Amino acid sequence: MSIDQNKFWKEINEKQLSPENIEANFENFKSSSINHKLALFNPEVNGVRYLKTVNFLLASTLSSAEIRLLGNTKNRDLGNPLCIQYKGMSACLDYLQAAKEVDFIQREITLENSSIIEIGAGYGRTCHTLLSNFDIEQYCIIDLPNALQLSRRYLSEVLGAPSFKKITFISVAEFDASKLGTFDLAINIDSFAEMDKEVVHEYLAFIDKHCTAFYAKNPVGKYYDQSLDGHSQGNEVIELALKQGVLTDILDIDNQSEVNEASKKFLLAYKPSAHWTVKADSWAVPFSYIWQSLFAKENGA
Ligand SMILES: C[S@@+](CC[C@H](N)C(=O)[O-])C[C@H]1O[C@@H](n2cnc3c(N)ncnc32)[C@H](O)[C@@H]1O
């Protein structure tokens, strides 16, 4: 029997692997349509495939403690996330990260009977995970009004009534440090870098006075790499994003040593005051440029 190319490969050979195409693109062939037929899925049109791959990879790294945190957090699929099934468990990137974030925190401080304040909670995945796993005394969310409307609705549907009752939703316009009392833990995930510098300083001053521990998970700096998203949101949004927050150095986020170096500035920028120490810090997987730290106020400060 003689073996010939089938119709599928005939087309690839005639188009992507044609001698003319190879000649014209050899210098960059590994990032071109040639290699997208040989070894690499075209990243420009395979976002969901790569996201699900990240989900699989992260799910495969979960510790038994992280699996427990995830398993105890029911109704995670409300809102139709992009998930995978791993060892009988549904897993999306939001909650895979939540399990890792909460595990990082629980290794450093006691969460049972604690009072928590979260600044910028999005739809509430962190609150959902914490209230599903610990007997939290009270959970306060500070956010913009429309985000609060979403988190209020989401959390009322995913949590049971006794847990939901522990949450107070406070709009930024109502934020009044003097009326808020004290908290064992403040949380800020993926949002200080998008706020005005003065606002971040105001929140840090609040945390300094009213909280005893602070978990921060945010970018270590800014980046300007059009190859990542084609700058699809437009130049105006990019220019705005580059100015927000307290860490505005532009770095190469594909370079681990640059990120590690920038993490030193992260720790200085998010330490609420000289009376706080870093209990733990690390790269926060999976995004290369995101760092996490648990700061603790020194006794008596
Ligand atoms: C990118 S989302 C992150 C949400 C959530 N922490 C997470 O990781 O899923 C940023 C959040 O910060 C909130 N936010 C923006 N400006 C804020 C401000 N000045 N005060 C409080 N929250 C703010 C947004 O409404 C949103 O909920």
Q: For a pLDDT cut of 90, what percent of the chain falls above it? A: 91
pLDDT at site 84? 98
pLDDT at site 279? 98
Closest C-alpha to 187, from 126, 244, 134: 126
* Amino acid identity for residue 142 in this structure: I
Residue 22: φ, ψ to 5°: -65, -45
Instruction: Tell me which residues have their CB closer than 6 angstroms to ligand 1.
Output: 119-122, 125, 142-144, 147, 172, 189-191, 194-195, 199
From-to residues of CATH 3.40.50.150 in the chain: 97-297
Q: Which residues are CB-contacts of 34 (< 8 A; sequence separation ≥ 6)?
A: 16, 17, 21, 22, 25
Distance (Å) from CA 120 to ligand 1 centroid:
3
Q: What is the mean pLDDT of residues 151-172?
A: 98
Q: For a pLDDT cut of 70, what percent of the chain falls above it? A: 100
pLDDT at site 243? 86
Distance (Å) from CA 55 to ligand 1 centroid:
23
Query: Mind listing the pLDDT tens digit for each residue in 19-32?
Result: 999 999 999 999 99
Q: What is the mean pLDDT of residues 136-154?
A: 98
Q: Whose CA is nearest to atom 13 of ligand 1?
A: 120
Look at residue 14 and tell me whether its pLDDT is greater than 90. yes
**Topology at the third CATH level for domain 97-297:** Rossmann fold (3.40.50)
Look at residue 251 and tell me whether its pLDDT is greater than 80. yes
Q: Which residues are CB-contacts of 119 (< 8 A; sequence separation ≥ 6)?
A: 142, 143, 186, 187, 188, 191, 192, 203
Look at residue 300 and tell me whether its pLDDT is greater than 80. no
Residue 233: pLDDT band (50, 70, 90) is confident
Q: Whose CA is nearest to atom 2 of ligand 1?
A: 122
Q: Whose CA is nearest to atom 27 of ligand 1?
A: 122
pLDDT at site 210? 97
Q: Which atom of ligand 1 is nearest to the CA of 142?
A: 21
Answer positive or negative: Cα dihedral of 245, 251, 257, 261.
negative
Residue 35: pLDDT band (50, 70, 90) is very high
Q: What token pair was written down for 56?
A: 């699989």
Query: Mind listing the pLDDT tens digit for each residue in 58-77?
Result: 999 999 999 999 999 999 99
Q: Whose CA is nearest to atom 12 of ligand 1?
A: 120
Q: Whose CA is nearest to atom 16 of ligand 1?
A: 195
Choose one of 191, 197, 246 to mutate for the ligand 1 pocket test, by most ligand atoms within 8 angstroms of C-beta: 191
